[in-house]
Amino acid sequence: MSIQAVLFDLDGTLADTALDLGGALNTLLRRHGLPEKSMEEVRPIASHGTNGLVFLGAGIGHGHPDHAQWRADYLAEYERCFNCDTVLFNGIDELIIELDKLGIQWGIITNKPHTFTHRLVPKLGFSIMPAVVVSGDTCDEAKPSTKPMFYACDQINIAPQHCLYVGDAERDMQAGKNAGMKTVLVNWGYIADTDPVDQWPADVSVDTPIQILDLLNTL
């Protein structure tokens, strides 16, 4: 078997974090007298993190003079309830159990800041804990940089060509592919109808977690 490890994005891939991400945004919008955003609006943006959500809610991007304050205020709100309603997607834990039976390591490479990742992951109820967790600030660059990918491989002592990387965003596919990994796009993730997924560098897409098992001997 050429695949020795399966590495995952977190938000929108392993865990459904949209309710907590969107809840923090809506609390902030209410404070500013701005209209709240529905989960239908939040979900396609959730994988883009704080900057994407602040832009969705307030139209404030990187170049705006108030961006830094909005970002800080959003993170403060998310801190209050980052694990209130977040759960694993159906079938994720079952997949991880099966990977363990096959002797395949698993891990997480996320752009989520360490301050949230290291507290959230233990609360998600994984039957087997990850061999490695790389947060958005573990390295000096986050995805789509390959630095987090190579860092994870070094930590588990498995070469990139023997890894699958599973995610729901273009940056996930870019980072995995450029690091020499096989890439898997999850169709249950935070993907907008307008996202040109056919142009993303994914080797394959899957509709359910357990389908990933079928790829281990084919990719």
Q: Which active-site residues does the annotation give? A: 9
- CA torsion 167-168-171-177 (nearest 10°) is 40
Contacts of 89 (CB under 8 A, 6+ apart): 13, 14, 15, 16, 188, 209
> Which secondary-structure segment (H or E) carries 80?
helix 67-80
Helix (H, G, I), strand (E, B) or coil at 48: coil
Calpha distance 142→213 (Å, rounded)? 27
Calpha distance 129→96 (Å, rounded)? 9
Helix (H, G, I), strand (E, B) or coil at 4: coil
Closest Cα partner for 144 from 177, 171, 176? 171
Token look-up 């902030």 returns: 28
Closest Cα partner for 206 from 162, 175, 178, 165? 165
Calpha distance 202→91 (Å, rounded)? 21
